[in-house]
């Protein structure tokens, strides 16, 4: 019987790359998100879901179950990044970053984990960030949220260690996704620099001198989903070309 994977933020970027990889590995996949067009275009079964809303998550899990049966693996990937100087960070920005990046993971855990525990197998994987382990200028709200996801994962991992369910985080560095591409365009527009010069701000700390690809992140997630990773629990797996060890 195929394992059923639910992926939030599954219509593009890391989420879509993960869906494609796990589909190729033989999993049943449901992608979730707010943008119906991208979800439809993914080619996978999908459910509309706003991870900041508990009822929307419950409805999304119910729809996913109708597609492929109970959810065995949750990839909590939906996220957002907004930047501002720390002392100019508005409460609105703070609340938004906590809601989508941290509360969203919490709500997905509450929706998905009880069934996994009951069946004796499950994987809960949060796509965090190197910002869960370090920080960057102008990212106070985002960094606080991502640090929080790592605490959430580790707490869950300890409590569920004897249930057959593992909880882990993958922590990519700057990745070739719409979030980074939009940030590059904004920097270029605001500073007058070329997009190549703006991109250099995102690659300068990566020893490989490039962005991480979504498929590199997907490979790590695929490994965590497997039976052979059953003793990998409560970990923050860095996918950053060596940035975090400099």
What's 139's DSSP letter? B
Is position 142 annotated as part of the catalytic site?
yes
In this structure, are residues 114 and 69 in contact, taking their beta carbons and an 8 Å threshold? no
For the chain, give the number of residues. 246
Kindly state the tokens that stand for 17: 């790359």
- Cβ-contact 3, 27 below 8 angstroms: yes
Q: Are 187 and 201 in contact (CB under 8 A)?
A: yes
Pick the closest to residue 183 from 83, 75, 43 (CA basis): 83
CA dihedral of residues 230, 98, 198, 203 (deg, nearest 10)? -20
Diameter of the chain measured on Cα atoms:
56
Task: Kindly name the residue from 46, 138, 142, 215 that is annotated as catalytic.
Answer: 142
- Contact of 224 with 232, CB cutoff 8 Å: yes
Residue 179 CB-density burial (10 A; 0-12 exposed, 13-18 middle, 19+ buried): middle
Cα end-to-end distance, the chain, whole Å: 44
Q: Give start and end residues of each alpha helix (H) in 135-210.
A: 140-159, 178-191, 195-203
What residues act catalytically?
142
């Amino acid at each position: 019987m195929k394992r059923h994977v639910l992926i939030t933020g599954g219509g593009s970027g890391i989420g879509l790359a993960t869906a494609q990889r796990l589909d190729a590995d033989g999993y049943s996949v449901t992608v979730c998100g707010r943008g119906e067009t991208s979800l439809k275009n993914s080619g996978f079964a999908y459910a509309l879901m706003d991870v900041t809303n508990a009822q929307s998550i419950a409805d999304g899990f119910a729809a996913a179950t109708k597609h492929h049966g109970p959810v065995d693996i949750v990839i909590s990937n939906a996220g957002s990044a907004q930047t501002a100087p720390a002392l100019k960070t508005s409460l609105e920005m703070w609340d938004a970053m906590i809601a989508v990046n941290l509360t969203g993971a919490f709500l997905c855990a509450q929706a998905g984990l009880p069934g996994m525990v009951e069946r004796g197998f499950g994987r809960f994987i949060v796509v965090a960030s190197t910002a869960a382990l370090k920080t960057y200028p102008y990212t106070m709200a985002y960094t606080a949220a991502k640090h929080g996801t790592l605490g959430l994962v580790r707490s869950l991992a300890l409590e569920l260690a004897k249930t057959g369910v593992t909880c882990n985080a993958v922590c990519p560095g700057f990745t070739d996704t719409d979030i980074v591409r939009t940030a590059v365009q904004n920097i270029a527009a605001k500073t007058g620099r070329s997009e190549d010069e703006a991109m250099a701000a995102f690659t300068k700390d990566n020893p490989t001198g490039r962005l991480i690809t979504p498929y590199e992140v997907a490979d790590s997630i695929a490994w965590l989903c497997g039976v052979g990773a059953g003793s990998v629990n409560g970990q923050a797996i860095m996918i950053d070309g060596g940035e975090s060890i400099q």
